[in-house]
Structure formats: C-alpha cells, structure tokens
C-alpha cells in the first residue's frame, strides 16, 4: 500500500474501484483482480516475469467499462510447466470459469500457449505479446538456474531488472518501466525464483489445436527483452494469426500504450473471436471521452445509447449469485461472489461484502459514477461501511486492512 | 539467421460509408472481391508484407467504418499513421464533397508533426459501374481538388475488377515510407548545462 502515494492517479482510482482477491487453492496462493460482468467469458491476463496482476490495471478499467470481464493474476508459485497447467486449471475450476481467452505477455504468453496445448478445450483464443515458443535461449543465458532457489532476493530482482532496457526513453515508456520496477519490489523471493525457474526450465510449446484465426500476435516493433528471433518464431508458428504490431511501446505496451493495446484487445481481438460484451450491465463515460465510442455495439443492443454521462451501473452480484447457485459448482455455493474456496480475503471496497449477510437475498451494489475518472460514490446497503468507503475514496482508508472472511 | 526488424508502415483508409474502402483493402491484400455489402464496424486492419528497394516492410492497412456514428475512434487509432488514403465513389457526388472533411478530421486526430506535407493519396473508386455512365465526378474535377491540397496523388480504381489497385497501393506504400524516419531514436529534451561546448543534437537528420 505504501506505493500508492506516488502511484499514477489512474492507478489510485483503480485501486479504489476494483477489489483485489487473494485465495489459496490447495497449496497455491492466488492474487488476482476479477472485474466486469460475470456472465461474459473472461479475458485472462498473464503477466511476464516482472509483472503482477496490477500491471494490467489500464486494461481492466477500460475493458470492464465496455462490458467485458477481465481477470488479471499474479503467476502462482509453481516450479514446472505441468504444475502450472494443473494449478491454473484448478484456479479456473474454482472461479467456475470454463472457457477463457488468454492474453499473455512474455513468460505469461509462453504459459498461455502451454495451457492451450494441454487444455485445448478451455482456451478459446490467445493474444500473445512479445513472447516465445521455447525457453532454450533463456536457460542457456542462465547457467546458474539450478541454484535459483538459493539465490538471495536482491540478486534475483537485479537479474530480472537487467532485462529492461535502460537509457533515455520516451516518458510513457519510462513511466511504464517505473511502474513495473515498483511491482517487482513487491514480489517475494519465492515468487521471483519460481518465475525464473519457469523461464529457464527446458520446455517448448507443442502444436496447438486452436485455429490460427483465433490467435492475435501483439508485438512491439521498437525493442523488448525478448529477442526478435524468438518473436519471429511465434509468428512463423501461427502463420494465420493476426499480426497486430505496434510501432513502439517497449516491454510493457499495456502500460505505455494502453489505448492502442485496448483497441487491439477489444475492438479487434475479442470482437473477432465472438465475445459479446454485456453493455446493459455496465455503461459509463470513459476517461478520455472518446473511448466511449471506441466500441460500438453493432446490433446486440442498439437501445443502449453510448456516452450517456453520469450513467450508473449495477453490480453483477445478484446475477452471479444466481449463477453460482444454479451451476454444478463442485465447491458448493455458500458464497455468492468470489471463488468458493478455503480462504477468501478482499482488499478495499468490497471488503465488507459479507457473503453470509447477503446470503440468498440479492445484494445490490450500485455504483454511480458521476465522473468516471475523478470520483465514484459507492452506495451500499449496509450503511455502516459507507463512511469507510468515503475514506477510501479520499485515500485515507488505504491502511484499513481487508477483512478476512472465513468460509 | 538474420532477424532484422521489419519496419512497420501504418496506412489509414478514410471515406464515406459504402465507397469501397474494405473492398479496396481486400482486393489489394488478398485479391478478393465480394459483391455483398457488409458495413465495417468500428475498425479493422489487414497486414501485407511488401518488398521495396531490397527491404521488407510490413504494411498495416487500417480500414474504418464510414458511418457517422463510428467516426470518433479515438487518437489511438490514428496515432503513428504514415499515410492516409481518402476514398470516394465517382458515382456519388456527396462522397467527393466529403473528402475535405475526412482530410480535416484526420489532421485533427492524428496531428502529424508536419500537416502541410503529410502524405495523402486520393482514390476515386467504382469506375466500373455502368461502364462509367453513372459517373458524376469527373477526373478533372478530382485532380483539381488534389492539386489544390498540395498535389495529392490521385488514382481511379475499381476494387471489383482490381483495376489500378496495385498501382495505387504501391504509391501509398512509397509515400508512407517517405514519411517514416529511418530509425526512431528517442532523444529527450535536455538542457545543456555544460555551457554549449557540444554541438546541439538534432533528431531531424540522419547520420548516414
């Protein structure tokens, strides 16, 4: 939380609007954001070595406003690729998500492909950004990988950060690097060594069943930590994929070129692979005013006039609760929102969203966004917590720890 | 294996609804034409690898929806464009009259560094219709307009028959290439505190 003071304004806003979830499934800890209508098949963002769930906050904000569901997560602490497949599958089961669209950058893109290879039925489409097909090159450049588990944290951080190009950079790219460096600081030694192990363990992506037409390759054309030859291999592997190349953006285009990345993700990729946003659940003016018309819903709900300022949206809790109850949830359906498993703890706004209290009756969370960027007032049924919410809006509540809910 | 990065050239096609922007793009990239009209929603793009003077380039051609309600696609869409193609239908006078609006719109949205010399190319499409008998905008009139806007190259095309499409896009690629600097190196605005004993670095010229 300490970083919030110097964080970009839109990140502070994001943290005040979107709850962070932390759950453990088996022995694995998951830290993730899940935002947008629960009835829409999610776009799941998988970060690279240096990333966390937070690095995609600009995508979460923008796409959820357009009625898409975005899940962004920290890579779990796994030590080989099969363990990743199993762990991620369990995560999806717990989330009650069957079909996914994966957006992976760097190591995340590699893991997305591995998952698509082993679980072809679940992966409906892929967006691969600055990524690779095999880890050969990285294992060769990291001969000390067997002792990665013994290496002190600061050395691991330094090793990861050396991959980021230094020197004079354009302000947006420099800011994106700053943000990611700040995120690396939050990672534990185990997180770091797990990622480096995954990156260096010999593995390669086998043939995918997924049609090339459902793959979008979104590389930056200026430079990035992934060598061009490896990126070329990805393009050669999926010759029918769309090549949504960006002229520049560096290693983290999702932060340095968010509007371009969002344009590609929603306007080109998700629409093309047939993901229908639920505009009737969320509508609102966007930050920059014009992005509100970026996505025009063609014929699914023409009655929804876009850009209606001061519009409100209802949260999806009621719907998702009925979904969870109606579905064949293997974990039972005691709680209505987050994944129904062991330990659930929420950060920030929805922390008071007690599954027991809301129980069967629908909990209406109405968010009236007066001005989407500047402020949002959250009205909750429980008056008790409203004061805390206002404090969070004012960034005074940042230190309020989230309530841990035992289920 | 030499894996030199391919330069990316971004081309944006603008024009009224139904003048044949998507058809022109499809004809050029995949040599296909469909008589069925399907409105473009938002925007879409196709890429084509082209070779020019022994170098390979990736041409990224952005097709837009001509409808009024799709017009504000945002800056992200226009950013980094190297050439803008303005298309009208030679059989529809209104689509020609609107060229000026499209050009203005582009210059506002993309805000190129040198708007006076930004490369545009104008295409008068659908010259095949009715053997040219239903034509309402003459070649002379179109060329006069292009001349008045700084000698914009002009082509008369038929996406249906593939007439002049290749030539037009070659010109587009060439102009796009002219606009793209050799290598983009970011040089921050620095204040020389050493007292000006160094030559001021300029990003406009290339050292080759």
Find chain B residues with C-beta within 8 A of A227's C-beta: 3
Find chain B residues with C-beta within 8 A of A240's C-beta: none
Q: What's the confidence (pLDDT) of residue A347? A: 45
Q: Which of A171, A176, A258, A260 to mutate to test the interface with B (most CBs of B within 10 A)?
A: A260
pTM more than 0.80: no
Residue-wise pLDDT for A180-229, tens only, equals 999 999 999 999 999 999 999 889 999 999 999 999 999 998 888 899 99
Of B93 and A150, the one with more pLDDT: B93
> In chain B, what are the domain boundaries?
7-179
Per-residue pLDDT of chain B in tens (208 residues, 90 and over written 9):
444 667 899 999 999 999 999 999 999 998 889 888 877 777 788 899 888 888 888 999 998 877 655 555 677 788 889 999 999 999 999 999 999 999 998 998 888 988 989 999 999 999 999 988 999 999 999 999 999 999 999 999 999 999 999 999 999 999 998 887 655 555 555 555 554 444 444 444 444 4
HSE of A372, CA atoms in CB hemisphere, 13 A: 23
- Residues with Cβ within 8 Å of B39's Cβ and at least 6 positions away in sequence, in order, are B17, B65, B67
The distance from CA A114 to its chain's CA centroid, rounded to whole angstroms, is 18
Q: List all residues of chain B from 53 to 82 with a beta carbon under 8 Å from chain A.
A: 58, 60, 65, 69-70, 72-77, 79-80
Residue-wise pLDDT for A340-395, tens only, equals 444 444 444 443 344 343 333 333 333 333 333 334 333 334 444 444 444 434 33
Kindly report the nearest CA distance between residue B81 and chain A, in angstroms. 10
Please report, for residues A109, A268, A272, B38, B41, the alpha-carbon distance to residue A213 in angstroms, rounded to integers and kept in the order given: 17, 12, 9, 20, 19
The distance from CA A35 to its chain's CA centroid, rounded to whole angstroms, is 9
Q: Which of A67, A44, A64, A70 is nearest to A126 (CA)?
A: A44
State which H helix or E strand residue B121 sits in: strand B120-125
Domain B7-179 belongs to what architecture?
3-Layer(aba) Sandwich (3.40)
Give all domains of chain A, ordered by start, each with its CATH number.
Answer: 2-406 (3.40.50.1820)
Token pair recorded at residue A212: 């090339």
- Residues with Cβ within 8 Å of A146's Cβ and at least 6 positions away in sequence, in order, are none
Asked if this assembly's ipTM is beyond 0.90, the reply is no
């Amino acid at each position: 939380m300490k970083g919030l003071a110097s964080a970009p304004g839109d990140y502070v806003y994001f943290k005040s609007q979107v709850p962070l979830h932390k759950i453990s499934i088996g022995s694995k800890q998951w830290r993730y954001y899940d935002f947008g209508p629960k009835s829409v098949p999610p776009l799941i963002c998988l970060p690279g070595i240096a990333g966390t769930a937070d690095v995609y906050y600009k995508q979460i904000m923008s796409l959820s406003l357009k009625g898409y569901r975005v899940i962004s997560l920290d890579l779990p602490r796994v030590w080989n690729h099969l363990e990743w497949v199993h762990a991620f599958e369990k995560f999806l089961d717990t989330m009650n998500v069957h079909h996914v669209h994966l957006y992976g950058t760097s190591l995340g893109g590699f893991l997305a492909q591995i998952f698509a290879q082993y679980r072809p039925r679940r992966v409906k489409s892929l967006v691969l950004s600055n990524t690779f097909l095999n880890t050969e090159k990285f294992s060769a450049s990291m001969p000390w990988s067997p002792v990665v588990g013994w290496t002190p944290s600061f050395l691991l951080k330094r090793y990861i950060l050396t991959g980021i190009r230094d020197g004079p950079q354009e302000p947006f790219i420099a800011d994106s690097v700053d943000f990611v460096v700040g995120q690396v600081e939050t990672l534990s030694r185990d997180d770091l060594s797990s990622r480096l192990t995954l990156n260096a363990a010999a593995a390669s992506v086998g043939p995918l069943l997924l049609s090339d037409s459902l793959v979008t390759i979104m590389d930056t054309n200026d430079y990035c930590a992934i060598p061009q030859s490896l990126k070329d291999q990805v393009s050669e592997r999926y010759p029918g994929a769309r090549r949504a190349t960006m002229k520049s953006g560096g290693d983290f285009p999702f932060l340095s070129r968010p509007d371009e990345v969002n344009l590609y993700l929603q306007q080109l990729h998700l629409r093309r692979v047939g993901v229908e946003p639920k505009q009737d659940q969320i509508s609102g003016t966007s930050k920059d005013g014009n992005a509100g018309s970026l996505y025009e819903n063609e014929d699914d709900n023409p009655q929804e006039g876009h850009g209606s300022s001061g519009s409100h949206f209802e949260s999806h809790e009621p719907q998702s609760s009925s979904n969870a109850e109606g579905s064949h949830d293997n974990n039972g359906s005691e709680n209505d929102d987050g994944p129904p498993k062991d330990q659930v703890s929420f950060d920030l706004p929805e922390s008071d969203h007690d599954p027991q209290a809301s129980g069967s009756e629908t909990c209406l969370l109405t968010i009236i966004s007066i001005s989407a960027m500047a402020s949002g007032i959250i009205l909750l049924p429980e008056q008790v917590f409203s004061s805390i919410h206002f404090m969070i809006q004012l960034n005074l509540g940042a230190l309020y720890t989230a309530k841990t809910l035992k289920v | 294996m030499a894996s030199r990065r391919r330069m990316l050239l971004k081309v944006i096609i603008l024009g009224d609804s139904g003048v044949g922007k998507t058809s022109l793009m499809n004809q050029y990239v995949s040599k296909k034409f469909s008589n069925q009209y399907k409105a473009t929603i938002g925007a879409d793009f196709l890429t084509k690898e082209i070779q020019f003077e022994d170098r390979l380039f990736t041409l990224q051609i952005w097709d837009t929806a001509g409808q009024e309600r799709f017009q504000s696609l945002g800056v992200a869409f226009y950013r980094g464009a190297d050439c803008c193609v303005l298309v009208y239908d030679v059989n529809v006078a209104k689509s020609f009259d609107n060229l000026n609006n499209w050009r203005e719109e582009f210059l506002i949205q993309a805000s190129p560094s040198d708007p006076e010399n930004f490369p545009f190319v104008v295409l008068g499409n659908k010259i095949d219709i009715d053997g040219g008998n239903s034509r309402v905008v003459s070649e002379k009139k179109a060329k006069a307009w292009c001349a008045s806007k700084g000698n914009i190259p002009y082509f008369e095309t038929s996406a249906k028959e593939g007439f002049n499409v290749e030539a037009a896009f070659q010109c587009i690629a060439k102009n796009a290439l002219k606009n793209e600097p050799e290598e983009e190196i970011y040089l921050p605005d620095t204040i020389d505190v050493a007292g000006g004993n160094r030559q001021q670095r300029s990003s406009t010229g290339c050292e080759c």
